[in-house]
A and B are shown apart, each in its own frame.
Chain A
Amino acid sequence: MKTFLQEIAQDIIRNYPGKLGDITIIFPNRRAGLFFREYLKQELNGPSWSPQVLSFQDFIAASCPLQKADQLFLVHQLHTIYNQQLKTREGFDRFYYWGQMLLKDFDDVDKYLVNAQNLYTNLSRQKQLDLSFDFLLPEQKEIIQRFWQGFDESKSAQKERFEFVWSHLFQVYRSFNQQLSDKGLAYEGMQYRYMAEHLEEIPFKKNNRVVFAGFNALNAVEDKIISWCLENLQADILWDMDAYYFNNEHQEAGTFLRQYHKRQVYAPSFPETIPSSLTEVSKELVLTGVPQHVGQAKILGQKLGALLKEHPDLDIRKVAVVLADEALLFPVLHSLPEEIEAVNVTMGFPLSYAPVNSLIEHILELRRMARKDPDGLVLFHFKPALAIIRHPLIIQTDVDKLEEWANDVQRSNKVFFTTSELPEHALIKMIFSQDLGDLVDYLSAILLELNALADPEKNTIEVEYVHQYYQLLNRYADLLRNSDTTIELKPFAALFKQLVRTERLPFTGEPLRGLQIMGVLETRNLDFEHIFVLSMNEDFFPSQGGKHSFIPYNLRKAYELPNYDQQDAIYAYLFYRLIQRASSVNFFYNTEGNDLGGGEMSRFLQQLLHESNLPIKVETLANYTEPGSEQVITVNKDDDVLKSLSRYLNTGQRIQKRLSPSALNTYLDCRLRFYFRHVADLYEKSAMEEDVDARSLGNVLHHAMEILYEDYLKDKTSRTLVKADFKELKTKLESAAVFAFRKQFSIAPDRKFYFEGKNIIAKEIIKDFMQAILKLDEQYAPFEIVGMESEHVYDLTMPEMETAYLDAYKIPGESTMSVALRGTIDRIDRKKGQVRLIDYKTGQDKHVFNSIEELFDRKKKNKAALQTFIYALLYQNVKDEGEALVPAVFNKDALFMGDDVLLEYKGQGKVTNAAYYLEPYTEQLQLLLKEIFDPETPFDQTDEVRKCTTCAYKGICGR
């Protein structure tokens, strides 16, 4: 099957041998030209000047004396004028989108040669509509009048707002045009209109041939110019069409062509018989439904691979992958089959995907979240800071140093820090500069530095991204400087986001090598044998973009501006034309929508299914999915594990490790967690915490109380606190609390520390706790502080532990074995023969327990009681003869609700001397330890998933 361009190439060579250089061929877009020359070459023997090949747009731009300015510049101009005319002060960032829409409307108005003054007038009071608008048909007049009469009948707020803007638009349009042409500039529509009004300036020579090829929906200017050429020059126009949609008046794809066919000027250019390849070329049509997007790319890869295997000699240039949703470019590139040697991508890389974009976003965020300390020093928040340091573009400049620094920040809980705390690194210093200066200069300098730092050999794409970004910024800065607007962070960020969204970075390509990957619009005039179209959904094909306009639908219709019906018709043509000559077409569409739409198969596929009578295969991707299952992890106590466990045994030699109450608590919570932490020594990461949470608050309280009392006692001769001491103690609360926070966050003494956000609250809460403790203590005084946060050890003999494995670790000659325990007692105090072993608790701990066994019961256990009893065990040999050991828990109930601090054995009363219970307690403890060391009891996961929510290993367990 000959392609459309091939046909033209052959025709031209046949008809104008040796005179190719004198011919001008105009296509709707540039891309067709590239392919066209390729076909020409195939027909040539010796060298020859190429015909001049242009897109219509290039042709206009080349002919028009007004230069086209870029979008950003135009919208910016428009913004200035708009604000002047409407006397508003809308910011550029807010205006940008709306400005683009307005520009697009102006573009349409010009390309369709609409009289802007008429359009932008409220015609309700225009009595002589008939006179001054004689170019309109009666129907059109009626629509317009009806529209405006609505405004007379009732005036809603929306209408008023609409009319207010509307009534100024002609002025905006006029001065916009004026200002541009004064500078020799134009937007595209303006160029078009200029040329339509200056036909005599069209540069073609009388005796040269002009061929227009492959046009479908002509705008008024194109129509005017082409007809003029056909009438006045040696010009031809060649249509690409198929009987399928041309002859059937219901097919919107043929709407325009049928209209042209009826026009005298075009009629002769239509052939006698319209080709009907669509139905005559035999085709394999497959529709594949795929849940979501990336899957389409993957299944495309599979099908493409199969195609290449089936036809090893296939000329890959005859295969095209068309992306209706360009976002699928990356997924497609990553999913091609190995056999593909080369790829040609016609659409650009979206700049917003580029790493540089996320970097700049983080930098803007950094500056947005920065704050000043009382001395005016700028402080940076760790979150964006870490994101910047770990950003691919940054970290690669000095991996070791930066990674270390980032880890360091993460571990040391620096929520805010300043420039001097950063690693020595030029780029970093630049980003984290104290003085932001001019925002654009600041960003430009960073981008330039990035560009300079980039490794020239690798990452070319990334470097190009940076460059493109820099250009964009540069242009923007230039505009702003000229209009002396000050650049504020927020609007700048907002606008830049919008700008970046639409930027694309072109690929190079030898367009005619390899697999073609293209967007829908780029397929114009091109034919392929095998076509794969992705995202064949209603929301992408026909494209939903570009439909927004401030000109109401009815007025568009009345003035014959294109409306969405026309746009749909254009896409219909693109669709059928694309497949008409192909021999196989695979369509992929997303089957999953949400309530905002999506997931609906394209209407064009519906049309094919319901009316084409072509054989079509419909299929769905339906891979079976294994349900995710819980990760079952059980670690058996093999020799290595036992060896590691034995470190907690007293074997007569050095004791390597000791078990703490919290380790035992961990074991009761979950055996596996105990294993990870205390046997495998897999340490939990101390995650960066911006502020204290429920767990760390307890630590802060411990620190605070220790500091408060120890500091105070330092200067005293006795360690006894009497009631009079508390007055002074109370004054030291604040400083002790601050100190405790610094300690918790390991903040070096020379560093500043500020309370921010939640920590402000936490500090107050800590002070509340401290105050309450002081109050209790004041009542209890006088008493002696024996120790704060003091560490004690104890070796518990285990008479019944005589398993084979343990023998290996036994002290020769001894028949028992002991387990090494340790514990840090929050506070020990003494009063009249009562030694209190105190635990501070900020959580939900309770005083009451029902039995000693219950303390070790996984489901019911009482952490505070378990712990304070171990304290008693650890301390029993230290205490003086005759002293009673009293476990005491300072918890919320005791501190704020007036409860007693003592434990309460339900039914047996308060625990006033731990000694009564130590025996049964020790027995239970031994049972627990026996289990821990029992080779037959593996380390397994807890059944109570609730325990997992705060577990550091939940990633491993998948919980």
Chain B
Amino acid sequence: MTDRNFIIYQSSAGSGKTYTLAKEYLKLALRRPAYYKHILAVTFTNKAMQEMKGRILQKLEEFGRGDLDAMGEELMLYTRLSPSDFQKTCARLLTEILHGYSHFSISTIDSFFQKVIRSFAKELGLAGSYQLELDTDVILIQIVDDLLMEASQNVQIRKWLISYSRDTLQEGGNWDIRKNIIQLGSELFQEHFKTVEGQVAAQDKGLAGKLKKDLGLITKSFEEKMKSYGQEGLQILHKYGLETSDFTGGSRSPLNYLYKITKPKASKDFIPTKTVEALPDKEEWYAKASGKKEVITAATKNGLRAILQQTLEYYVKEFDTYHTAIQVNRFIYGYGLLADLARKLQEYKKDNDIMLISDATRFLKELVQDSDTPFVYEKVGSFFNHYLIDEFQDTSGFQWDSFRPLIDDSLSQGYKNTVVGDIKQSIYRWRGGDWNLLLNQVEEDIGSFRTQVENLGTNYRSEANIIQFNNALFEQAPQQMTLEGGDNRAEGWEVLTEVYASAKQGIPKSKVNAPQGYVNITFLGDEEDRPWKHTVAERLPEVIEELQDKQVALKDIAILVRRNKEGKDVADYLHHYQKQNPDSQYRYDVVSNESLFLSSSPAIRLIIAALQCLMDNKNQVVQAQLAFEYQVQIRRSCVSYHEIFSADYAVIEKLLPESFRENRTHLLFLPFYELVEQLIALFEVNQLKGQFAYLQTFQDLVLKSSQNGKGDLPSFLEWWKERGARQSIKVADDLDAMRILTIHKAKGLEYNAVIIPFCDWEMDHQRSPIIWSNAETPPFDNVYLPLKYQKGLAQTHFRDAYQKERIKAHLDNLNLLYVAMTRAIQTLWVFAPDGKKDISKVLKATLENSTFELNGYWDKEANVFEFGEQNFQFATTHSAVGNAILMEQYPHYEWRNKIAVKQTSGGHNLSEEVKEKIRYGILMHKLLSRITYLTDKEAAITAVFFEEGLNEIQRREIQQRLEKLLSNPSVSPWFSDEWEVKNEWPILTHNEEYRPDRVLIKGKKAVIIDYKTGLKKNEDIQQMHGYKVLMEQMNYDEVEGYLLYLAGEEIVEC
């Protein structure tokens, strides 16, 4: 027995992570039937969570049947049970879990956090009713606009905004700074910002203002100094009657530097070239053939050389500071506004009663650190001894901080804890993931003496050739990445090789003997008029056809892209291709959750246009769009485009469905969800079968917006304008079509055939993020400042922060390559550009390298790497699509005339006075039905008061009315306790149910009373006769009937 209870599994791609997790889970859970309640496993995604749950249940069912695989055998050994006992134990555990499912704690990290926070809402000072908000962009836009509005009242903000705008404009940017503010504002939601939040919140614009001033001084003094050097130099030239072109280099003489620094256009103009730098040490400043040798020598001697020397010395000394100031300046205004934005955000959250996901993590961190573990559980009702954390490389610092005390506590009690992760697959750093935790920090935090690191070294996913290829590739790629992207002088790059040191995976024995799998990497150059991506587009159908020839099912093919946009391009292209080749025996169907945007669906575009049209029927453009979409998409009519677009109002109307034209006003009255349903029907968009999924998703959004309060047309359209374009559909897993997905989404998934059409992502950051840092040199030393990540930072006091980020960015992008390359089981096709400076360069450099293990398969001429067995056939398509069902039509039902809502408000088409009477009539009716004997009066009034939501005035009113009625001499005897009373008591017959309001019984005598709220009607008397007949049939001898008209307190005997 060791004390090393903290196990870190390093799980390279395909190494059976879920398998291992499930096994580890079962090892613990099989101890005793209810023990699973003490295990918490967290995953990052819902999918992973479901997969793990599913796997555990499935395994237990198999083992419970006596159906043991390798895992079963291992577990049986581990539990030291006999086969039959093991079988029983597993079956029993399955039953326990299925019937104690709330304790089956496998959960995503976010939902686990939510659960805990919810139960501490009160203690954390949250309004318990808060809703969780995921869409931070909408909030950000809102609060930035709010802030801009505040400029009207708040002088300080106004001044600040104006100078911000002015400075940006005068530096050549757009005066409209809203975008800039939004960009920096998005930092509010980042975890790294939360660490500096206190510092930001504590300051007002005073600090930023002062800093701003300091920066101004620094830049100004540097620029002026350089300018004066430049001018001095130029004066000397002037004195000697020289032009810069008289010196070496002619028109490109290094002395042009002097001009540059007197009139710099950008900070980079101050940076001397190598020749300029070398100049002071050079003897001769003239070209051999120059006719002005003497003058030049004189000039250099008499000050020019000295000036240049001084300039360069000054430059070397001060430029970094200057440049730092320039870089800090970019965000200094935004930085000054962050505190205001943070305040706005707080207000917004409070006003709208929402919480952000990122808040949850912070709350929990506070909670867990402040509290002790048992108390957290007391509240939640779960008691965990063991923690299993999946995808640990994606865990954020805060998340780890939240778990750490729990795990610490668990370890100190001798329980086992497990984390599983792979830094090579860390591609979610932008979302807060911090692989450094896995690399070093956890072990430090937990203590090496308690930690045991295990490497899951075998790849069970891919065929042998694919594994072999990836082993070879990632043995070298990190070095190549360092060479291509890195800076050999900079420290820290070795982390790349360190991370990939364990990349080499074992190949299962069964696969070694008959190695299978095929890799093709083709490099394509741009040709004239034909960018390389066009060539890829042409090759793509060929590859797809070839795969189909090999019996690969469409759903087993994945096309991996870096960005959604590329996915959309591929989808568009293949769709187009399919249309062009209707007779092809192949299929090119693709789906993707990420790349199929609602805004690209004709059906949705049509509905949106119709909605816009309803909102503003004078908008010609929208009208034309609606008519156009309707005629072209739905009617497939051959009206000429020009006829539609140039039509005037009256003509356009005719091009729209008649029912729409006529019901325009009526449509506006409908609740929003219903309106959309009606539009779908009116415009017959539900005829378009290929559009069902779009419609479904769209309607889900509409439904959600209705649930959120502002479910109306203008609000929805406003939302759509901001967010609509980014919504995409959800498709079922079973669909038989190729998948297009981003590499990010593909993480954790596997496919028989993987195609990477555009292997060309950047090695460094694509979009420059903001990094927060401080420097040692004043005035940059006391606060963390936001900086735009970019090359320029290398020449500032922030260079360390820059370099660190740069290395991380390169690792991210290398990891992307790793994730992309390791998804394939059988076939991997990659297309990459030739001669571009991006990840393809790393790839190519590796393949070309003579020490690359599979270098023999690199065909330099063809620019292709090809390895493995291309001529394979899939024995069976191992995923049948048998259980998919289709939606045949998209039904629409007019329910309004089939159902009614209970009328509580009384009639409507009556005069006010009568209405009022009837309303009180109804109330009296309700009152009376609650009164058996006079003594029930008070209770009845109270009850009606609450049930009907009355106010005090109404209460008094009905009380008076009741008193009056009950003091009526003909009425009061009905309420004496000599009677047996049946209030609204049903009388049943074979077909009907009758319900006289009040029946008084004494022996064989019965008195029937019916209250009426309306005006006198003949039917009332007939109804009463009916009751009397019934009573007689029920053997009452003496039956009387009375109608009591409540409005006028009139009694009619029948």
Chain A contacts for B938, CB-based, 8 A: 184
In-complex Cβ contact of A761 among B96, B111, B175, B737 (8 A): B175
Chain A's nearest CB lies how many Å from the CB of B1033? 5
Stretch at the interface among B66-74, B296-304, B322-330, B592-600: B592-600
User: A341 contacts the other chain (Cβ, under 8 Å)?
Assistant: yes
Q: What chain B residues lie within 8 Å of A463 (beta carbons)? A: 905, 908
B628 within 8 A of A: yes
Q: Which of A800-822 contact B (CB under 8 A)?
A: none
CB contact between B696 and one of A184, A294, A349, A620 (< 8 Å): that residue: A294
Interface centre among B688, B697, B699 (most CB of A within 10 A): B699
Interface residues of B in 644-685 (CB under 8 A from A): 645-646, 665, 668-674, 677
Closest chain-B Cβ to A575's Cβ sits at a distance in Å of 12
Do B622 and A955 touch across chains, with their CB atoms under 8 A apart?
Answer: yes
> Cα distance A19–B591 when bound, in Å?
67
- Whether B689 and A623, one on each chain, are in contact in the complex, defined by CB atoms closer than 8 angstroms, is yes
Task: Report yes or no: B95 in contact with A352, Cβ–Cβ below 8 A.
Answer: no
For residue A303, give the distance in angstroms from its CB to the closest CB of chain B. 9
Q: Are B575 and A626 in contact (CB under 8 A)?
A: yes
B109, B642, B674, B691 interface centre (most CB from chain A within 10 Å): B642
CB-CB under 8 A from B348, the residues of chain A are none
A621 to B46, CA, bound (A): 20
Q: Which of B122-130, B776-784, B967-975 contacts A (4 or more CB under 8 A)?
A: B122-130
Alpha-carbon distance A685/B111, docked complex (angstroms): 46
B289 within 8 A of A: no
- What CA separation (Å) do A100 and B114 show in the bound complex? 20
Please, what's the 1-or-0 string for B955-999, where 1 marks a CB less than 8 Å from any CB in chain A? 000000000000000000000000000100111111111100000
A397 to B576, CA, bound (A): 49
Q: Are A595 and B108 in contact (CB under 8 A)?
A: yes
What 1/0 flags go to B693-711 for Cβ under 8 Å of A? Answer: 1101101100100110111
Is the pair B712, A592 in contact by a Cβ cutoff of 8 Å? no
- With beta carbons under 8 angstroms apart, the residue of A49, A94, A893, A958 that contacts B127 is A94
Give CA–CA (A173, B640) in the complex, Å. 76
Q: Is B77 an interface residue (CB 8 A)?
A: no
Query: Are A628 and B597 CB-contacts (below 8 A) given A354-B671, A361-B709?
Result: yes
Distance (Å) between the CB of A558 and the closest chain B CB?
11
Given A291-B731, A353-B711, A633 contacting B690 (CB threshold 8 A): no
23 contacts between A and B (CB under 8 A): A41-B989, A52-B985, A65-B939, A69-B942, A153-B372, A156-B375, A291-B731, A295-B700, A299-B885, A390-B713, A472-B949, A474-B949, A475-B950, A548-B118, A595-B109, A603-B98, A675-B645, A680-B642, A680-B646, A758-B151, A768-B166, A893-B172, A956-B628
Q: Are B621 and A685 touching (Cβ within 8 A)?
A: yes
Q: Are A150 and B690 in contact (CB under 8 A)?
A: no
- Complex Cα distance A48/B148, Å? 74
Assess the A627–B571 pair: CB atoms within 8 A: yes
CB-CB under 8 A for A292 and B700, given A354-B671, A451-B905, A685-B616: yes
Chain A residue with Cβ nearest B351: A490
Given contacts A50-B993, A292-B730, contact A610 B94 (CB under 8 A): yes
Q: Confirm or deny: A739 has a beta carbon within 8 angstroms of a beta carbon on chain B.
A: no
For residue A410, CB closer than 8 A to chain B, the reply is yes
Q: Is the CB of B900 within 8 A of A507?
A: yes
- Kindly state whether residue A387 has any CB partner on chain B within 8 Å: yes
**How far apart are the CA atoms of A563 and B896 in the complex, in Å?**
41
Give how many B residues have a beta carbon under 8 Å from the other chain's beta carbons: 194
The digit string for A761-795, where 1 denotes a CB below 8 A from any CB of B, is: 11011001000000000000000000000000000
Q: Residue on B with the closest CB to A953?
A: B621
CB distance from A548 to the nearest CB of B (A): 7
Q: Is the CB of B898 within 8 A of A353?
A: no
Q: Does A653 contact B (CB under 8 A)?
A: no
Identify the closest chain A residue to B890 (Cβ): A298
- Inter-subunit contact B891/A305 (CB<8 Å): yes
Structural contact, B673 and A353, CB atoms closer than 8 A: yes
Q: How many A-B residue pairs have CB under 8 A?
A: 543
Q: Does B1030 contact A (CB under 8 A)?
A: yes
Which residues A621-649 have CB closer than 8 A to chain B?
Answer: 621-631, 633, 635, 638, 640-641, 644
Q: Is A467 touching B732 in the complex (CB atoms < 8 A)?
A: no
Nearest residue in B to A494 (C-beta to C-beta)? B353
State in angstroms the CA–CA spacing of A161 and B713 once bound together.
45
B963 to chain A, nearest CB (A): 18
Tell me the bound Cα distance from A665 to B651 in angstroms: 30
Query: B729 to chain A: which residues have CB within 8 Å?
Result: 291, 625
Is A478's CB under 8 angstroms from B993's CB? Answer: no
Is A263 part of the binding interface, using a Cβ–Cβ cutoff of 8 Å? no
- Bound: A506/B617 CA distance, A: 36
**In the bound complex, CA of A396 to CA of B98 (Å):** 54
Q: Which of A223-231, A330-338, A915-923 contacts B (4 or more CB under 8 A)?
A: A330-338
Q: Which residues of B contact A331 (CB under 8 A)?
A: 673, 699, 703
Q: Is the CB of B690 within 8 A of A626?
A: yes
Inter-subunit contact B625/A956 (CB<8 Å): yes
Chain B 546-588, CB-CB to A under 8 Å as 1, else 0, gives 0000000000000000000000100110111000000000000
State whether A564 and B381 are in contact (beta carbons under 8 Å apart), knowing that A288-B885, A331-B703, A335-B893 are contacts in the complex: yes
Question: Would you call B895 and A159 a contact (CB within 8 A)?
Answer: no
CB <8 Å contact, A596 and B111: yes
Distance A359 CA – B713 CA, assembled complex (angstroms): 11
- Interface-located stretch among A119-127, A428-436, A452-460: A452-460
For the complex, give the distance between the alpha carbons of A461 and B899 in Å.
Answer: 10
Docked complex: B210-251 residues within 8 A CB-CB of A: none
B370 near A156: Cβ-Cβ < 8 Å: yes
Q: Is the CB of A595 within 8 A of B696?
A: no
Cβ of A159 and Cβ of B609 under 8 Å apart?
no
Known: A625-B731, A627-B596. A460 touches B903 (CB 8 A): yes
Contact yes or no, B646 A682, CB < 8 A: yes
CB proximity of A684 to chain B, nearest CB, Å: 6
Q: Which residues of chain A come closer than 8 Å to B732, judged between CB atoms?
A: 289-291, 591, 620-622
Across-interface contacts of B951 in A (CB, < 8 A): 474-475, 477-478
Contact B152–A756 (Cβ < 8 Å) = yes
A852, B792: Cα distance in complex, Å: 37
State whether B50 touches A498 (Cβ < 8 A): no
Decide: A47 and B989 in contact? CB cutoff 8 A. Answer: yes
Q: Is B733 an interface residue (CB 8 A)?
A: yes
A331-B699, A764-B166 known; 12 new pairs, CB 8 Å cut-off, are A291-B693, A345-B899, A349-B901, A355-B671, A460-B900, A494-B351, A507-B902, A553-B381, A594-B134, A694-B174, A757-B150, A768-B169
Instruction: Determine whether B287 belongs to the interface, using a CB cutoff of 8 Å to chain A.
Output: no
Contact between B669 and A462, CB atoms less than 8 A apart: yes
* B residues near A693, Cβ cutoff 8 Å: 176
* CB-based contact A764/B165 at 8 Å: yes
CB atoms of B46 and A298 under 8 A apart: no
CA gap between A233 and B110 in the complex, in Å: 54
- Assess the A640–B628 pair: CB atoms within 8 A: no
Bound CA span A406–B905, Å: 32
Residue contact A514 to B898, C-beta cutoff 8 Å: yes
Task: Report how far A185 CA is from B298 CA in the complex, Å.
Answer: 109
| B429 contacts the other chain (CB 8 A) | no
**Chain A hits for B875, CB < 8 A:** none
Contact of A624 with B619 in the complex, beta carbons under 8 Å? no
- A165 part of interface (Cβ distance < 8 Å): yes
Chain B residues with CB below 8 A from A161, complex form: 122-123
CB distance from B40 to the nearest CB of A (A): 15
In the complex, the 6 A-B pairs of residues with the closest C-beta atoms, listed nearest first = A628-B600, A626-B690, A553-B381, A456-B908, A467-B905, A301-B891
- Pair A392/B712 contact, Cβ less than 8 Å: yes
A864 CA / B946 CA spacing, docked (Å): 73
Please, which residues of chain A bring their CB within 8 A of the CB of B696? Answer: 291-292, 294-295, 298
> Beyond A352-B709, A761-B165, A764-B162, is A627–B884 a contact (Cβ under 8 Å)?
no
Contact partners of B541 in chain A: CB under 8 A: none
Given contact pairs A49-B985, A607-B99, A353 touches B668 in the complex (Cβ within 8 A): no
- What residues of chain B lie closer than 8 Å to A622, measured between beta carbons? 731-732, 734-736, 881, 884-886
Given contact pairs A159-B375, A685-B619, A685-B622, A606 touches B901 in the complex (Cβ within 8 A): no
